[in-house]
Chain A
Amino acid sequence: MVKILVLKTNDLSKTYRMGNIDVLALKNVNLRVEKGNFIAIQGPSGSGKTTLLNLLGGLDTPTSGEIWIEDVDITRMKEKKMSDIRCRRIGFIFQFYNLIPGMPAWNNVELPMIFAKTPKKLRKEKARTLLETVGLKHRLQHKPYELSGGEQQRVAIARALANNPAIVLMDEPTGNLDEDNTQNIIELIEKLKKEQQQTFIMVTHDLEMAKRADKLYFLHGGKIANTE
């Protein structure tokens, strides 16, 4: 089977200036993520997990090094182009779901497709299919406050997959869920990985969940300490 590299970082470093002090958040991080991989990143507070996800998601720019998503160098991309990359190549799943409150589930899933200028009919169909995939066919018209935490996170997963992104970045996706829902979400992620060859990169404190990943990175002091 041909292995396709969807994410690559070369000596990725980030230094923040706090007052007169330079704080090293990441140092020479080199990642290689292949299509269909499920990667977990663990580390203590202040280890650089946030910084790494911000950089991989194009929400921040590195001090040095490079980030490639598929064949595109996003390292110092202009904001307008970066929006397009975020829209089409990166999916986001947040700990607190971050759904738009007033919109029904299918509208929330439709959002990234609106920004990608997908035709209305097509995006409606796709939003319906994605919600069906995550087991929420019966919740299309429900607004976030009418859904449980687990259901909201499943809507967020459907939304993250809307534009068939190269990678999906997940920030503690089960951090706000009970045990049953955590199990459901992890099974859903594994199913999507297996059936759709979807690539997931997850930051989590949950060791049990991290162990379900194909590869586990430990971050410490801004450096990748070891890999499992």
Chain B
Amino acid sequence: MLNMAFQNISRRVFRNVLTVTGLAIFVIIFILVSSVILTAQEGIAESLSNLGGEITIWSQDALLPFLGNIPENHTHLVREMAYVRNVSPQITSVSRVDTEDFRLTLGLNPSDIPVFYTYTMVEGTMLNTNESKAVIGYLFADFLKKKVGYNITINGQTLPLVGIYKTDTWLDNVVIVPFGVAQEIFTLTGRASIIIVTITDPAKINLVIDEIRKELQNVSVFKSQDVAARLAPLMNSVTWMSYTLFTIAGIACFFGITNVVTTGVFERTREIGILKALGAKGTDVTKMIMYESAALGTFGGFLGCIVSSFLLLQGLSIPLTSTTAMRMLIFPEIFLYGLVSSIAISILATIYPVWRAVRVRPREVLQFG
């Protein structure tokens, strides 16, 4: 039966190549989009886990910390609270850096940098005064071909570059300027994007959070380690939408394959009649058609997996801005799901044609006499 299935496939090469290609495209889209979602989830989780501190405060209605806008004087109120050690107001904003649009610039007080972040200097020195100077992550510096002593322009304001640092986090792709300078550049005088807090006693973290929530209006306050989890609803929505699209694409594939296999069954009605006259049972005909479809599904699935892995291994990236990108990660389980989906769709799509084939009556196609 398996041999017969393969022989049947080889007899309709062009049509089957199209079917396999369609399935492969479905699997490629499935794997790549799933990889984008999972990479983004991991990437954002990793980025946000590097915001520093134990408590994070940002605008109540902001989806991302970069979109926050809260009064800077909240910093002073929080600093007065019990168990609070350090409070760092920060500005994170999308900006035009030199000729590059949509780049992140981080503004924070130079004295807070060693408290909240771990870094090593590649060249020059870290910011240590509130003067109009900038430091830049080494990846971004490489990209812009910047060295210490060069100037850098942020939203039209030119600053001397005094240092290049390395953190092995998302900060390696941003420019850091003093907090006051960032307020000036982004016209956020008296405002901050987020406030990061460290405390003296980790056991009192909930107490501090409750206190901040009581004192400050219209802000979200939570543990820094929960920042990524706060984005879960957003990521879940993206995931849900993507999987809805996959389902629709899968249904389209399903009908496409049903159409192809049904056409094939109609064309082979006489042949099926001959097989039944020779003693083939309904189960034999079912097996033959199912094997054909399963083989097409497997070919399509494997082809999709091979092309996807090739693209991912070539360093396919998610563009975050016009110049920066997050390299897509490879999740083996996604390949397995893609392959199984391809085979399952192919097999399910044959239910109707199989039903038609089993009903073929040899008498009607092989009239004697």
Contacts and interface: CB of A to CB of B under 8 A. Distances in A.
B363 interface: yes
Interface stretch (B3-11, B80-88, B164-172, B186-194): B3-11
A98 B266 CA distance: 17
A115 B366 contact: no
Contact of A112 (B3, B11, B279): B279
A102 B268 CA distance: 12
Which of A83, A88, A94 has the most CB atoms of chain B within a 10 A radius of its CB?
Answer: A83
A206 interface: no
B278 A54 contact: no
B131 to A, nearest CB: 82
Contact of B274 (A49, A80, A98): A98
Which of B8, B275, B282 has the most CB atoms of chain A within a 10 A radius of its CB?
Answer: B275
Contacts of A101: 11, 271
Interface in B73-120: none
Interface string A40-53: 00000100011001
A115 B284 CA distance: 7
B37 to A, nearest CB: 44
B278 to A, nearest CB: 5
Contact of B281 (A57, A107, A112, A115): A115
B369 A53 contact: yes
B368 interface: yes
A102 B369 contact: no
B363 A54 contact: yes
A173 to B, nearest CB: 11
A168 to B, nearest CB: 12
Interface residues of A, number: 34
A59 B369 contact: no
Contacts of A57: 277, 368
A86 B362 CA distance: 11
A116 interface: yes
Given A54-B363, A86-B279, A88-B279, A100 B369 contact: no
Given A53-B368, A59-B363, A103-B7, A83 B276 contact: yes
Given A83-B276, A86-B279, A103-B7, A94 B366 contact: yes
Contacts of A53: 368-369
B274 A86 contact: no
Interface in B1-36: 1, 3-4, 7-8, 10-11
A172 B366 CA distance: 13
Interface residues of B, number: 26
Interface in A64-94: 79-80, 83-84, 86-88, 92, 94
A50 B11 CA distance: 32
Interface string B264-306: 0000001100111111111010000000000000000000000
Given A83-B279, A111-B275, A98 B368 contact: no
A116 B280 CA distance: 9
Interface string B249-276: 0000000000000000000001100111
A60 B363 contact: yes
Interface in A4-59: 45, 49-50, 53-54, 57, 59
Contacts of A49: 368-369
B237 interface: no
Nearest to A83: B281
Contacts of A59: 277, 361-363, 366
A102 B11 contact: yes
A114 interface: yes
A171 interface: yes
B367 interface: yes
A163 B279 CA distance: 10
A107 B3 CA distance: 10
A223 interface: no
Contacts of B366: 59, 92, 94, 98
A111 B270 CA distance: 15
A126 interface: no
Given A103-B4, A169-B368, 12 more contacts: A53-B369, A57-B368, A80-B282, A83-B279, A84-B279, A86-B276, A94-B368, A100-B275, A101-B271, A102-B10, A115-B278, A203-B369
29 contacts: A49-B369, A50-B368, A57-B368, A59-B277, A59-B361, A80-B282, A83-B279, A83-B280, A83-B281, A84-B279, A86-B276, A86-B277, A87-B279, A92-B278, A92-B366, A94-B368, A98-B270, A100-B271, A101-B11, A111-B275, A111-B278, A112-B278, A112-B279, A115-B275, A116-B279, A159-B278, A171-B369, A172-B369, A203-B369
